[in-house]
Structure 1
Amino acid sequence: MSSDTCDLLCLDLPHAEAVRAQLSGEEQVRARANQAKALGDPTRLRIASALSLGEELCVCDLAWITELSQNLVSHHVRILRTAVLATSRRNGKLVMYRLTEAGTRLLAAVVGPAQPLNAGTATAEALS
């Protein structure tokens, strides 16, 4: 037998049933899996990290920060928005993006909490 399975059939029915009752429904699990998949792309992970640090940025800013084309950044923020990890608002001719609460939590789970914008500057100044 495989070392990944029990050698005999055993079932702690009360415990197993209690765990099963606490599991999320299929639709909620699918939505969470799509969110995790959205952050699984290195480009989207960089964009989400930039949004976390910058709080609210337009595509032009994100393109400059990530050194990617505006078209590519626009494509990726659309995916983050579809996964409900980012939201957008129009400010005149600009479209500003920010992470949602779900996006902030998932990003923190993947890469840890965001560092303040001046943290890198303070570190660079301390080293000089």
Structure 2
Amino acid sequence: MSDDQCDLLCLDLDHAEALRTTLPGEAVLRQRADVLRALGDPTRLRIAHALLAGDELCVCDLAWIVGSSQGLVSHHLRQLRSAGLAESRRDGKLVMYRLTGAGQHLLALAAEADPV
């Protein structure tokens, strides 16, 4: 007997089936998992927090702020951008990054779930 399983099969089939049919499809769940995974790395999360605090920053500034190389920060920024959590724009020779609305919202939700 385990504390994380029922000791008796007690399926409320009508209720369970009604709930099962309301779950998002596999493609939607994969997309959401990718978005959540984008903030699942401590370096990406640190970069996202820096972008939230700084509004818009270049890779050079972000690398200095988070204490990582420009190459590593660029790699993580690409992942945040491909997940739709960050966006970039070119300003002359600089590439400026900022969080999207979705990125800001997800970061705020993560902060609300902070157990400390």
TM-score by length of 2: 0.85
| Residue matched to 2:29 | 29
| Residue matched to 1:41 | 41
| Residue matched to 1:73 | 73
Identity %: 68
3-state secondary structure, aligned to 1:22: coil
Aligned-residue offset at 1:44: 0.5
Amino acid paired to 1:90? R
**Deviation readout 1:4-27 (Å, 9 max, x if unpaired):** 222222222232223223211111
Q: Could you list the runs of 4 or more consecutive aligned residues of structure 1 that deviate by over 4 angstroms after TM superposition?
A: none
Aligned-residue offset at 1:2: 2.4
TM-score by length of 1: 0.78
**Deviation readout 1:24-78 (Å, 9 max, x if unpaired):** 1111111111122221111111000011111111111111211222111111101
3-state secondary structure, aligned to 1:106: helix
Structure 1 unaligned regions, length at least 5: 113-128
Structure 2 unaligned regions, length at least 5: none
Aligned counterparts of 1:52 and 1:22: Cα–Cα separation in 2: 34
RMSD: 1.6
| Residue matched to 2:94 | 94
Number of residue pairs aligned between Structure 1 and Structure 2: 112
